[in-house]
Every structure is written in structure tokens, then in C-alpha cells.
Amino acid sequence: MKFFVDTADVAAIKELNDLGMVDGVTTNPSLILKSGRDITEVTKEICDMVEGPVSAEVVAEKADDMIREGRILAEIAPNIAIKVPLTWDGLKACRVFADEGRMVNVTLCFSPAQAILAAKAGATFISPFIGRLDDIHLDGMDLIADIRDIYDNYGYDTQILAASIRSVNHIVEAAKIGADVITAPPSVIKSMATHPLTDKGLEQFNKDWAATGQKIGK
């Protein structure tokens, strides 16, 4: 399973990237706002640091405008994946970008029907949003499972990029279902390392070690 980091926070990406844990990055307009940085500047910095795909999102609503914006974003670096929304116009833009040999991430996917269209339009990645479905009391993980089944039935090579991840459990469940990629905030990825029994065990080991009065090395 590939790990993308869902942020435009360069320092947070660097910390994970230095551990070899970053296969790519996803950004969106809200994450750019949160970073307080210029989109071109911050995206370039991320693309220079990370080898894998870095998603940068268009903001236009009409296909022609999305195509113009996407081509500008793609000039930032060769590892840009142009992110387009799952609308009819977004699918038109996706087809154009795919035919130009560019990577496309089709985002804001909330149904298996939408995911089928993205695959037909040549998307490199489909981004089903788990957390936002859970927020409205639907099961986001069911969507990942449905898309996996459908893509496997027909051999679509569009990669399932499980997005809007809010917990470690989301990552583990998406991995069990066979999502190709997850994109998660750095805090969620880092919290995968924690377990209360690890903390408890460590506390006991430290206590017992202190009682030995020994030291490792001089």
C-alpha cells in the first residue's frame, strides 16, 4: 500500500519523507489556505522534496478553464498529478489530461457510479472520501470495498486513493480491502505508531531497568 500525505505543510512532509514513508502528497484549496503559502511556491517545494505524485487541484468549474489551470499546475514539476473534481466538466478535463499523458487525480468521489466514470475517463487516481461519508452517517469504507470489487471485475487500472481519512482504523480497514493508496494527515500517520500497551510495557521496562542499577555502555 502506498502512503500519500494529505497536507501542504512542508515541515510535516519532510519529517515523514526522511523516514522513507512518503510515496506522494495530496493538497487541496483548503490545505493551501491552511499553509498560508502561495500555491505555486509551496507545491514546487513539495515536488522537489518528494519523488512520487503531488496532487495540485484546479479551482475552475468549466472544463476549458480546468484544462487551462491544470496545464499551468503541471508546469510546476513533472510529478504533478492534476486534481479535478468529480463533475461532468471534471471528467472532460480528466480525459484531455489523460490523453496528454498527464497524471490525474479525480477527487470528491462519493459513489461507485462516479468511480466507474472516472476510470472510463482515464483517471490515474480516484479519491473516494471516507470521512465525509461517515460524517453524514453513511459508511465510507463500503464505498472503498464497492470500488475495489468493480475495478477488479473489469481490470481498470485507475488506482483507488482512499481519502478523507480521519483515523488509524480508516487506514487499516482501507488496507484490508485493498485500496492502492491512502492519503492521510501527518498526525494520523504518526499515531499509527502508538498503542497503550506499548506505553505501558515501556513504563514497566524502564522501572525494572532502573531497579537493576545497571547502565548500557560506559
**Position 190 contacts ligand E4P (CB under 6 A):** no
Nearer to ligand E4P, 153 or 187 (CB): 187
Q: Shortest approach of ligand E4P to residue 208 CB, angstroms?
A: 42
Nearer to ligand E4P, 81 or 117 (CB): 81
| 97 CB-contact burial (10 Å; exposed 0-12 / middle 13-18 / buried 19+) | buried
Nearer to ligand E4P, 114 or 155 (CB): 114
Distance CA 110, CA 132 (A): 9
Q: Shortest approach of ligand E4P to residue 119 CB, angstroms?
A: 17
All cell numbers assigned to 75: 508546469
Angle at the Cα of 6 from the Cα atoms of 76 and 36, rounded to 5 degrees = 65
**Position 159 contacts ligand E4P (CB under 6 A):** no
Q: Shortest approach of ligand E4P to residue 105 CB, angstroms?
A: 7
For residues 11 to 50, the per-residue mask of contacts with ligand E4P, x marking binding by CB under 6 A and - elsewhere, is ---------------x-x----------------------
Contacts of 35 (CB under 8 A, 6+ apart): 7, 8, 9, 10, 42
Site for ligand E4P in 81-140 (CB under 6 A): 107, 127, 129, 131-132
Binding-site member from 3, 5, 6, 133 for ligand E4P (CB under 6 A): 6
How many residues make contact with ligand E4P (CB under 6 A)? 11
How would DSSP label each residue in 9-78? Answer: -HHHHHHHHHTT--SEEE--HHHHHHHTS-HHHHHHHHHHH-SS-EEEE---SSHHHHHHHHHHHHTS-T
* Active site positions, annotated: 83
Q: What are phi and psi of 16, to 5 degrees?
A: -75, -35
CA-nearest of 182, 80, 90 to 129 is: 182
Q: Shortest approach of ligand E4P to residue 205 CB, angstroms?
A: 37
Nearer to ligand E4P, 26 or 124 (CB): 26
Distance CA 144, CA 147 (A): 5
Neighbouring C-beta atoms of residue 167, cutoff 10 Å? 15
CA-nearest of 108, 111, 47 to 81 is: 47
**Position 52 contacts ligand E4P (CB under 6 A):** no
Nearer to ligand E4P, 1 or 197 (CB): 1
Q: Shortest approach of ligand E4P to residue 51 CB, angstroms?
A: 19
Residues that bind ligand E4P (CB under 6 A): 6, 26, 28, 107, 127, 129, 131-132, 163-164, 183
